[in-house]
Chains A and B, each alone.
Chain A
Amino acid sequence: MISKFLSGDGPRSRILAGMLAAIFVALALAPFLFPGTRPLDVAARICVFVLLVASYDLLLGYTGIVSFAHTMFFGIGGYGVAIALSKLDVGWSAIALGAAAAVAVSLVLSFLIGLFSLRVKAIFFAMITLAVASFFAILASQLSDITGGEDGITFKVPELLRSRNAAYYMVFGMALALFLALLRAVNSPFGRVLLAIRENDFRAEALGYRTVIYRTLANCLAAVVATLAGALYALWLRYTGPNTTLDFGIMIDILLMVVIGGMGTMYGAVIGATIFVIAQNYLQDAMKAFSEAMKGVPLLPDLFHPDRWLLWLGVLFVLSVYYFPHGIVGQLRARSKR
């Protein structure tokens, strides 16, 4: 039964299964287990980022292409909902319209970028997406009549979502459903072709699969899921702005999460996003304590300054790419195989 939900692609490691189950239970019961605004906010962030990172894993881990434009699609979703809710009557139809429009924009954009640049090398695609994403971020901050510029848009949500618990369960439910859908996609024949392309695109092409089409499809699918994740995040925050969606820092966060969690595993997204968001919110407190304890020692207090937490995650990231290319999930699976 559970195996069917997971598309037959189970955790394949006892420890991993335990971790996933613990995360699932903690997130499912978050409003009751961890009362308070901040813990619930952390839980919602984890849900959204699990989804966002999983969709990125479809690109990076399963198809083997690096995109720097994932936050752009995340932002399109957020702005779609925000613009619809601030310009139209507040209601579910506005949300649906905004999300649908955002998905349509993302589809067209990802299709164009894909056709335009996926024919050639992975490096070319990475460079093009970086340029397009930075252009989009500038555009969003310049068109202040529509997007609210640097301030972003604060908007009202329908009656039902004003209850924090109801809003949380909407985020949780949607994230769970879409995550399972992604898991289904990577375990379908389509997902197998993507893996084949990642391993050897020349051979996949020789077997009769048009690699450009499959890569573009994967790019579009990832973009659509990222857009929906952006819409969910906007509805949770009741705000959309450049700093919560389009910032290049978020792109870096996504990369860190997917690599540390484990590329090409989907579950890596769950582990990576959970660890990262918790570290983002609570590691800084620990570092602050350590930094103050180290006062007087040269350089150390600066290295452990609470704002330098990204330094340590960056080091972890580099080490992961060298030594654990499949991240935490890959390590756990390799261990249970032995």
Chain B
Amino acid sequence: MTPAVVPRTDWIPPALLLAIALGGLALIGNPSTWVTLSVAGLAMGLLIFIMSSGLTLVFGLMDVMNFAHGLFIAVGAYVAASVMKFLSASVDSESFLVNLGALAPAMLAAAAVAGLLGLFFERVIIRPVYGQHLKQILITTGGMIVAEQLIHVLWGPDLLPLPRPATLRGSFLIGDMAIEKFRLVAVVLGLAIFAAMLLLLNRTKIGLLIRAGVENKEMVEAMGYRVRRLFVAVFVAGSALAGLGGALWGMYQESVTVAIGANMMVLIFIVIIIGGLGSVGGCFVGALLVGLVANYVGYLSPKIALGSNILLMVIVLLWRPQGLYPMNKQ
């Protein structure tokens, strides 16, 4: 059993993040390049966080690892692409408010469809295989195969364009610093979602139950709460967030293919392993680490860039084998 002490916040991982940012500044030398890269890194990191937070919570709550999480990302991106195409007049308008009239429905539709799909997926695919890790991995992988093929059937096998709204194209120029507008939007949105999630988890009763459920499921059940329902809610919310993240990520890349889900899956796994399986705070720090390191290394030596994530994971695991914020489970 874990001793009943109030855990103090561990500041070393955030400090590490800061150290890497400063180290990046020292190595890159040019401050304006550094700002551009940092904003890009933060935007990428926050988008990854939006997509992966649900997965890590689901694992913490119910010990379920969904290898088909990338599916929600892909579906979100495809739904957003369809909505944006339908509203293409507002997408190309020069007024930000009109743009928002296309962007907001696209985001909401992406989240809603992914959330509904998550509900279906939990019922049909995952519910029969609780507690059986091997079958979970196999079943969710199988679900991913089928779903990817169905996306091909519904949207066709070709690359789909996903344009950014007109007022979010191009960059701001502050002095000689170029900051892409869309990245800034991604940062703001990502921080807002993170703040909302922290509020929900730390200041509401549902949040309290979720955190308690992650720590000790049986005890929460013994108190008379239905962890199962909580879990379904978290699963659906996580899927919706993945869909939202997928829509944003698709706009970030300005195109969608069915591989978007599987490609992100690898990054997401790296992030939640780095963060510590089940830890939302760890997931946040891990996502930012991955985003920043990927952008810095990509600038400093493009050859190593692709391996930088794996290298980062190995280094973090050698330092803390259970991830940055290990979850104490009995």
Contact = CB atoms under 8 A, between A and B. Distances in A.
Contacts of A121: 133
Nearest to A117: B317
B145 A317 contact: yes
Contacts of B152: 307-308
Interface string B196-224: 00000000000000000000000000000
A138 B135 CA distance: 29
Contacts of A307: 152, 157
Contact of B67 (A126, A302, A317): A126
Contacts of A135: 306-307, 309-310
Contacts of B28: none
B306 A139 contact: yes
Interface string A117-148: 00001111011101110110011001000000
How large, as a class, is the contact surface on chain B? 35 or more
Nearest to A302: B153
Contact of A142 (B125, B136, B303): B303
B4 interface: no
A66 B266 contact: no
Contacts of B273: 124, 127-128, 131
A303 interface: yes
Contacts of A26: none
Interface in B103-123: none
B241 interface: no
A130 B142 contact: no
A135 B294 CA distance: 14
Interface string A299-331: 100110101101101110110011001000000
A246 interface: no
Contacts of B141: 252, 255
Interface residues of A, number: 40
A175 to B, nearest CB: 25
Nearest to A322: B128
Given A127-B269, A138-B306, A314 B146 contact: yes
A88 to B, nearest CB: 26
A16 to B, nearest CB: 23
Contacts of A197: none
B257 to A, nearest CB: 14
Given A142-B303, A255-B138, A303 B133 contact: no
Contact of A122 (B129, B134, B153): B134
A327 to B, nearest CB: 12
Contact of A248 (B137, B262, B277): B262
Contacts of B128: 322
A302 B313 CA distance: 41
A132 B310 CA distance: 7
Contacts of A259: 138, 142
A191 interface: no
B306 A318 contact: no
Contacts of B142: 255, 259, 314, 317-318, 321
A248 B134 CA distance: 19
Given A314-B142, A318-B146, A66 B310 contact: no
A63 B218 CA distance: 30
Nearest to B313: A131
20 contacts: A122-B133, A123-B133, A126-B67, A128-B273, A131-B310, A131-B313, A135-B307, A138-B307, A139-B307, A142-B306, A303-B153, A307-B152, A308-B152, A311-B150, A314-B145, A315-B146, A318-B125, A318-B142, A321-B129, A321-B138
Given A127-B269, A127-B273, A317-B145, 6 more contacts: A66-B134, A126-B65, A135-B306, A138-B307, A308-B153, A322-B128
